[in-house]
């Protein structure tokens, strides 16, 4: 299509200066667009839709203050602590474990990762069975949903991230077993995105790159 025809159809140029060929094309487009408008006429929502929506709303938790409190309590957030505080806390914890159990304490320590997959905390017990909670984050303004998926969840995309403050940054903590894992983000249910801030990548065999996350096994 010629630019002059696009400009006319965009409403940015008058029909007066068009060539004969472009004018015929424009008339042809007028007929086509009229057919589209007939095919997709203005429509009103069915009258039962409002009650169906409100019935479902009634079954949901409130999004206001209680919801915000619940979200605040449940959502992970970065915590800044000084190295001195960490050192003192670790020393105190070690002392408690040594005194209380009479043997060295075991806490899974996260390592590696980087980018938008930050390792946060772990669970105790058998190191092989422990999990480390990894904080994933992706900047996706305008998205309606973002999930993270990888070999740690059999690529089922079951870990939805949240953008609670509406700033376009979606985040969430996901339990991951120690090891090296490939992962991807899924935006709006179908758009696969590689973590732009991962430290390592690997080809997925389908022309894309998976982000790679290394999670260290807890030490005893």
Give the three-class secondary structure for 206: coil
- Enter the tokens of residue 142: 């305008």
Site residues for other proteins, 159-198, by CB under 8 A, read 163-166, 188-190
* SS3 assignment, position 116: coil
Stretch that binds other proteins, among 81-89, 120-128, 138-146, 193-201 (CB under 8 A): 138-146
Residue 2 binds other proteins (CB under 8 A): no
Choice from 14, 16, 20, 38 touching other proteins (CB under 8 A): 38
What are φ and ψ of residue 121, in 5° steps?
A: -160, 170
Segment near other proteins (CB under 8 A); pick from 64-72, 93-101, 111-119, 177-185: 64-72
Q: Tokens 């914890």 identify what position?
A: 93
142 sits in the region (left: phi over 0; alpha: psi -120 to 50; else beta) called: left
And the tokens for 33? Answer: 């667009």
Least distance from C-beta 145 to other proteins, angstroms? 8
Of positions 100, 142, 205, 207, contacts other proteins by CB under 8 A: 142
From the number of C-beta atoms within 10 Å of its C-beta (0-12, 13-18, 19+), residue 106 rates as: middle
Any residues with CB less than 8 A from the CB of 4 and at least 6 apart, and which?
13, 17, 18, 19, 22
Smallest gap, in angstroms, from Cβ of residue 133 to other proteins?
A: 23
| Residue selected from 143, 148, 176, 213 as contacting other proteins according to rule CB under 8 A | 143
Other beta carbons within 10 angstroms of residue 184's beta carbon come to: 21
Going from the C-alpha of 8 to that of each of 26, 28, 34, 38, the distances in angstroms are 8, 13, 16, 21
Determine the 3-state secondary structure of 196 from DSSP: coil
Query: For other proteins, which stretch binds (CB under 8 A), given 1-9, 84-92, 121-129, 206-214?
Result: 1-9
Judged by CB under 8 A, the stretch of 62-70, 112-120, 148-156, 205-213 that binds other proteins is 62-70
Among 179, 109, 191, residue whose Cα is nearest residue 149: 191
Q: Which of 16, 20, 40, 77 binds other proteins (CB under 8 A)?
A: 40
x/- mask, other proteins, residues 41-60, rule CB under 8 A, reads xxxxxxx-xx-xxx-xxx-x
Q: Please report, as ranges, the residues that interact with other proteins according to CB under 8 A.
A: 1, 6, 9-11, 28-29, 31-33, 35-47, 49-50, 52-54, 56-58, 60, 62-68, 71, 141-145, 163-166, 188-190
């Amino acid at each position: 299509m010629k630019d002059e025809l696009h400009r006319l159809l965009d409403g940015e140029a008058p029909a007066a200066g068009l060539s004969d060929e472009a004018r015929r094309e424009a008339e042809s487009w007028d007929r086509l667009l009229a057919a589209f408008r007939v095919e997709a006429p203005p429509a009103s929502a069915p009258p039962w839709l409002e009650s169906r929506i409100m019935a479902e709303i009634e079954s949901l938790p409130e999004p206001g203050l209680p919801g915000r409190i619940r979200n605040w309590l449940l959502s992970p957030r970065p915590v800044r602590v000084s190295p001195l505080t960490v050192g003192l806390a670790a020393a105190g914890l070690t002392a408690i474990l040594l005194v209380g159990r009479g043997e060295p304490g075991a806490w899974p320590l996260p390592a590696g990762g980087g980018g938008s997959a930050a390792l946060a905390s772990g669970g105790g017990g058998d190191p092989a069975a422990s999990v480390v909670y990894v904080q994933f984050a992706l900047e996706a303004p305008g998205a309606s949903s973002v999930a993270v998926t990888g070999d740690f969840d059999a690529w089922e995309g079951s870990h939805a991230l949240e953008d609670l403050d509406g700033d376009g940054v979606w985040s969430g903590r996901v339990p991951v077993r120690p090891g090296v894992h490939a992962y991807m983000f899924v935006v709006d249910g179908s758009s696969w995105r590689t973590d732009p801030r991962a430290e390592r990548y690997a080809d997925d065999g389908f022309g894309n790159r998976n982000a790679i996350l290394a999670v260290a096994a807890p030490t005893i």
